[in-house]
């Protein structure tokens, strides 16, 4: 099947280009040609002047469509979450499991393995956020679930399943050798829910720590005498930083300062989305605790019974808009933070995140294409 996308503004490495035709064969981008070149395409899609951009890649998706991954770690749940977020332009995602027992972690990994083998649209792997976290920075994670990484946990986290495994941990709660063992096994290791000092993070970075989960939130802050995890993240040129741009998790001016301190190509937008995204759900439970969506002057937020933030009511299309409106980013930069940058963070830049020859076809919000298949005909 050869499809031709024409008459649009196509976002490439050079920015938005007009007068071009994008050819996609069997789910992979084949070429970007002149406007009139369709070369016997089986199907021509007229974009009617709209923007065509790479599909968004979200590395932190706890839920959506009324489903929380922790509560139902199944293939059906992954499919429902993916379908909910696809409406907002997310065509690649990591279903995210917050701190839980290892038996639940194993069930979640098995569900992801089955979802990938069954070609559930958009699923790229799994994000295991905890339970290897700092008790002092656990946020809404259940304290009774927290633990250190032993041999059993290391074996489980290193189990291949056909996709990406991302693990968020507190580096001070483990060892540099364990971080090296995980990275050598192909795991993407990110620091989060951490009370680590700047000095404690240096050996972790030297042994493969790749990123920082939701920068500023649930981590030691930047101080005058102790740079903390935030300082380590911004000082490290090679590390990646996830940003929740929802108007609640981090003040816009704080994010602007971070963006002035570090290369933009090492920031990625994340949603930290909960079941309310793409659903009428106003309340749900996390491990038996009530969680509620409440309206504020700055938009909806999700809190637990004590008023603490418990994930976000955020989709990637809104995250991109917020990055432009709240942070003053140019649209090009915001789009890359939602597509090319997370693809590179996950080491998938050769397949996803860009409109260029050889990339998978994961594209637009008016409609989305995953492996060449549109959401709506």
Cα 52 to the center of its chain, rounded Å: 20
CA distance 81 to 275: 8
Q: How many residues does the chain have?
A: 377
With 0-12 CB in 10 A as exposed, 13-18 as middle and 19+ as buried, what is 223? exposed
CA atoms within 13 A of residue 20's CA, in its CB half-sphere: 19
Beta carbons within 10 angstroms of residue 62's beta carbon:
26
Radius of gyration of the chain (CA): 20
Before 262, cis peptide (omega within 30)?
A: no
272 is catalytic: yes
3-state secondary structure of 68: strand
Which listed residue (58, 142, 246, 272) is catalytic?
Answer: 272
Closest to 54 (Cα-Cα) out of 360, 305, 375, 371: 360
114 in Cβ contact with 123 (< 8 Å): no
CA distance 1 to 177: 48
Residue where the block lists tokens 């009530």? 290
Which positions are catalytic? 272
């Amino acid at each position: 099947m050869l499809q031709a996308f024409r008459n649009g503004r196509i976002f490439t490495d050079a920015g938005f280009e007009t007068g071009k035709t994008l050819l996609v064969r069997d789910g992979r981008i084949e070429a970007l040609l002149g406007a009139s070149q369709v070369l016997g395409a089986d199907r021509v899609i007229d974009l009617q002047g709209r923007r065509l951009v790479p599909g968004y890649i979200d590395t932190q998706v706890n839920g959506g469509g009324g489903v929380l991954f922790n509560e139902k770690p199944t293939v059906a749940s992954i499919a429902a979450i993916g379908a909910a977020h696809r409406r907002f332009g997310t065509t690649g995602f990591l279903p995210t499991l917050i701190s839980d027992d290892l038996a639940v972690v194993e069930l979640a990994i098995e569900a992801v393995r089955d979802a990938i083998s069954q070609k559930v649209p958009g699923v790229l792997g799994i994000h295991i956020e905890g339970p290897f976290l700092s008790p002092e920075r656990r946020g809404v994670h259940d304290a009774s679930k927290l633990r250190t990484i032993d041999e059993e946990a290391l074996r489980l986290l290193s189990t291949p399943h056909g996709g990406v495994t991302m693990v968020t941990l507190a580096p001070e709660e483990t060892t540099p050798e364990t971080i090296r063992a995980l990275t050598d096994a192909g795991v993407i290791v990110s620091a989060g829910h951490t009370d680590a000092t700047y000095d404690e993070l240096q050996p972790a970075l030297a042994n493969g720590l790749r990123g920082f989960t939701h920068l500023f939130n649930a981590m030691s802050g930047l101080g005058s005498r102790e740079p903390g995890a935030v300082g380590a993240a911004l000082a490290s040129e090679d590390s990646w930083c996830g940003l929740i741009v929802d108007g609640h998790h981090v003040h816009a001016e704080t994010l602007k300062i971070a963006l002035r301190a570090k290369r933009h190509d090492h920031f990625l937008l994340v949603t930290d989305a909960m079941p309310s995204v793409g659903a009428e759900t106003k309340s749900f439970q996390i491990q038996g605790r009530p969680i509620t969506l409440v309206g504020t002057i700055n938009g909806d937020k999700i809190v637990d019974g004590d008023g603490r933030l418990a994930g976000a009511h955020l989709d990637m299309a809104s995250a991109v808009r917020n990055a432009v409106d709240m942070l003053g980013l140019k649209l090009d930069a915001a789009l890359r933070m939602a597509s090319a940058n997370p693809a590179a963070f996950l080491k998938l830049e050769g397949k996803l995140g860009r409109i260029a020859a050889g990339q998978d076809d994961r594209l637009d919000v008016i409609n989305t294409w995953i492996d060449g298949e549109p959401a709506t005909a």
